Amino acid sequence: MSQDTTVAVEVHDLEKCFGSFVAVNRVNFQIARGEIFGFLGPNGAGKSTTIRMLCGILTPTSGSGKVAGFDIVREQRQIRQNIGYMSQKFSLYDDLTVEENIDFYSGLYRIPNSERAARKEEIIKTAGIEEFRTRLTKDISGGWKQRLALGCAIIHRPTIIFLDEPTSGVDPITRGNSWATIKEMAAHGVTVFVTTHYMDEAENCNRLALIYKGTRIAIGTPMEMKTVIMKDQVMEIQVPDSEIWSERVRAVSGVKQTALFGTAIHAVVESAEKTGPAIEALFKGAGVAGYTVRKILPSLEDVFVSLIEEYDHEHIKAA
């Protein structure tokens, strides 16, 4: 394993089994310092299990890894001192006030007394919760709680922060606020490991890994995902009554799949050059006017749907 200080996180063949169930299946990746690394995948794919192994909460069944230079099997305590972690479920104390929660985590991370007040103010200000400081946490709304939780998770200025679905179930303003905080931290050299299933958020990441059924099925920058990694191409079709046409476009030879995006149809095709004219021929034959068919850059959602289907297809064939 490299001693490179530019590497914040690296794992090799990381595996976690619960009984006979393989939750995480020999996953590999490397994250550079200051990177925002998105870990994407559907529910139950193994995202939380991976995060918990990286944070020193779970011990892997096999494989190895380093976080902030510490071994994830043997140096879990050092890891915990150097990282921040925000779990999926809100996990501050409802029956403590905002300030008391912050004080509690200041104590746990042994923030020097001289710095405590300043850090507390910083967290309260960043999260925009000045008016709630003496309120019980259970009496403030979900979005504010989430911002407070994020603040508590970074109170000790960790070099790496792990966020497990930080924005699930919160309002758009809080999502925006959280991402602003995340980007701000990354700009200061903090490495951010974030799981999400919001594709628009994934675009904020420097690099992404897609995990599905415990397996890492793709890794790269968002642009690489859309261009190199996704072998198929996407065509956007604008046509009146698109919901009716969607089925018929799918029947065209060379079209793998169609989906509706607003009023447009996205068709996944092996080759835009070959299949494009075939689709246009369909409309011409039916006498439809006012249609457009053009090749577009796939959205991350297109990429992931396509990659997952490909994976399922291969594994069904294999089985």
At closest approach, how far in Å is the CB of 177 from another protein? Answer: 20
212 binds another protein (CB under 8 A): no
* 93: contact with another protein by CB under 8 A: yes
The residue (of 110 and 231) whose beta carbon lies closer to another protein is 110
**Cα of 228 vs its chain's centroid, Å:** 20
Q: Among residues 22, 136, 199, 259, which is the contact residue for another protein, using CB under 8 A?
A: 136
Report residue 22 as tokens: 């393989």
Cα(184)–Cα(192) distance, integer angstroms? 11
Among 13, 94, 131, 314, binds another protein (CB under 8 A): 94
Q: Name the strand (E) or helix (H) holding 121.
A: helix 113-127
Residue 100 near another protein by CB under 8 A: yes
Helix (H) and strand (E) counts in the chain: 11, 14
Residues 59, 141, 271, 292: which binds another protein (CB under 8 A)?
59
Rule CB under 8 A: say whether 291 interacts with another protein: no
Residue span binding another protein (CB under 8 A) among the ranges 8-16, 53-61, 187-195, 199-207: 53-61
* Residues 6 or more apart in contact with residue 78 via CB below 8 angstroms: 68, 70
For the residues of 156-215, what is the DSSP string, one character each? T--SEEEEESTTTT--HHHHHHHHHHHHHHHHTT-EEEEEE--HHHHTT-SEEEEEETTE
91 touching another protein, by CB under 8 A? yes
Nearest to 68 by CA among 190, 182, 207, 181: 190
Stretch of 62-70, 90-98, 171-179, 234-242 lying at the interface with another protein (CB under 8 A): 90-98
Stretch that binds another protein, among 49-57, 121-129, 271-279, 297-305 (CB under 8 A): 49-57
- Evaluate whether 86 touches 149 at the Cβ level (below 8 Å): yes
Closest approach of Cβ 61 to another protein, in Å?
Answer: 12
Instruction: Report whether 198 contacts 181 (CB < 8 A).
Output: no
Q: Does 62 bind another protein (CB under 8 A)?
A: no
Q: Does 92 sit near another protein (CB under 8 A)? A: yes
How many amino acids of this chain bind another protein (CB under 8 A)?
Answer: 31
Give min distance, CB of 111 to another protein, in A.
Answer: 9
CB-nearer residue toward another protein: 51 or 229:
51
Determine the Cα–Cα distance for residues 6 and 58; give it in Å rounded to an integer. 25
Residues in contact with another protein by CB under 8 A are 55-59, 77, 80-81, 83, 85-87, 89-96, 100, 103-110, 136, 153
